[in-house]
Amino acid sequence: MASLYSYKNKQMDKVFREDSIIVRITSAACFLIFTFLYLYNYQTDVLAMAQHVLSDGKTYYVPFVGASLITILLFLLQLLIARFLQLKTIFHALTYFPSLLILAIITDVSPDIDRGFSFGAWLWVVPLLMVVWLIGSWIAKAWEVYEPLRFSHGFFSRAVWMNLAQFALMFVLVGMVGNSNEVFHYRMAVERSLVKGDYKKALTIGEKSLTTDSSLTMLRIYALAANKQLPERLLEYPLVGGSEAMKPNGTSVKMMLYTDTKLRLLRKSKTDYQLCAYLLDRNLDGFVKAMVKIYGKPTMEKKSKTDPATPDDNTSTAPYTITKALPKHYREALVLYTHLRSNPLVDYHDDILDADYRDFQDLEHKYANPQERKNMIRDTYGKTYWYYYDYR
């Protein structure tokens, strides 16, 4: 009987050890995969900016190396804590709490870090959380001693699922604490692309999102100018700040990775910047005067009374004409100007755009409800200057 009892104990110990190994393997896999992907796929651009700012530009962040190194160091910390706490079954995930807390602190990067670094509330939150964690771990250790006999084993055991539930909660909290500002992530990703000279990629980042700020507007304008598409695609993106958002001012409009010394491109694109500034401010008269100065030609005078113009003479009565092939938004602005002014400085016509503008006006008159009208027009004309001028 004694030998049978001893045999059962040995079998139970064997099962316990096997379950403990499975719990540790599953937990390690969850932690390593989440931490690496969170750092490498989601927080890379933010961490690159933080390192650049904190090192005053003397060092740079290598995404794969940085994510791997941080993940390994946090895992080594967990191994030390696990050896100390000896939580092996249903509460083993608690040994990862300090590592995940550090991960949350590392990724809690302020968008205003360039104005000065501070731990802020972490100075009292971390000690408080550590005290709560130590008390919880002590209770968990006592609980595991009285854990009832398990009837499920392996990767689908109760212990595994309880640890997965704890990880899920901690992962969600890390995601909530870490920087999740959508626009800030777009900005940092765009800046990293600009640093690499990959202007095309910079223009694809967040292109389907309607959220933006003045700094992101400035970065996209710069990328469009670098790609020689500024007057062609400017209004394909959400815009904030008018012409003041076209150049960095160091406060509300700023670059954090791509230094101002590299803005020499602005001088090369001075003409487009000037013209687009008028468009962003809805200053059609200023825009047309600048266009006349750059591209305008005096309109030919009509023939003398002894040789009057024929009835089909289409000579414009406006002082100037523009015949040069123009980018999309310049043409749209000139068509709008021609329709809005009774005595235009330039009488500009484009058969296709004139027809489109008439359709635009018909659509405006079709809907009485302002919001419905705006939504319907945006679907068709949301990327035109006409929509920007009236609705954005």
- Interatomic CA distance for residues 45 and 193, integer angstroms: 10
Comparing 228-232, 308-312, 318-322, the range with the smallest average pLDDT is 308-312
Q: Which of 191, 180, 170, 200 is nearest to 100 (CA)?
A: 170
* Residue 56: partners with Cβ closer than 8 Å, 6 or more residues away: none
In the structure, what pLDDT confidence band is assigned to residue 392 with cuts at 50, 70 and 90? confident
Residues 19 and 90: beta-carbon distance below 8 Å: no
Domain ranges within the chain, ordered by starting residue: 2-114+121-179, 181-281, 294-303+315-392
Residue 255 near residue 111, CB atoms below 8 Å: no
Which sign, positive or negative, has the C-alpha torsion 58, 188, 64, 96?
Answer: positive
pLDDT of residue 195 exceeding 50, the answer is: yes
CA 166 – CA 30 distance, rounded (Å):
11
pLDDT greater than 90 at residue 145: no
- CB neighbour class for 52 (10 Å; exposed up to 12, middle 13-18, buried from 19): buried
Structure confidence at residue 147 as a pLDDT band (50, 70, 90)? low
Predicted confidence band at 148 (pLDDT cuts at 50, 70, 90)?
low
Other C-beta atoms closer than 10 Å to the C-beta of 209 total 13
| Higher-scoring residue by pLDDT: 221, 305 | 221
Q: What is the pLDDT of residue 313?
A: 46
Beta bridge partners of 346: 320
Q: For residues 178 and 295, give the distance between their C-alpha atoms in angstroms, rounded to a whole number.
A: 51
Contact 276, 231 (CB under 8 A): yes
pTM equals: 0.85
Q: Are 63 and 48 in contact (CB under 8 A)?
A: yes
- The two three-digit tokens of residue 216, written as one number: 């992101």
Please tell me the predicted confidence (pLDDT) of residue 302: 45
Q: What gap in Å lies between CA 214 and CA 216, rounded to an integer?
A: 6
What's the pLDDT band for 266 if we cut at 50, 70, 90? Answer: low
Mean pLDDT for all residues in the chain: 86
Residue 233 or 320, more confident:
233
Look-up: residue for tokens 């904190």?
Answer: 54
Higher pLDDT, 11 or 17: 17
Long-range interactions of 278-286: CB distance < 8 A, separation 24+: 278/243, 279/234, 279/329, 279/333, 279/385, 279/388, 280/239, 280/242, 280/243, 280/245, 280/246, 281/242, 281/243, 282/389, 284/333, 284/336, 284/337, 284/340, 284/341, 284/389, 285/337, 285/345
Contact present, 324 and 306 (Cβ < 8 Å):
no
Which of the two residues, 314 and 60, has the higher pLDDT score?
A: 60
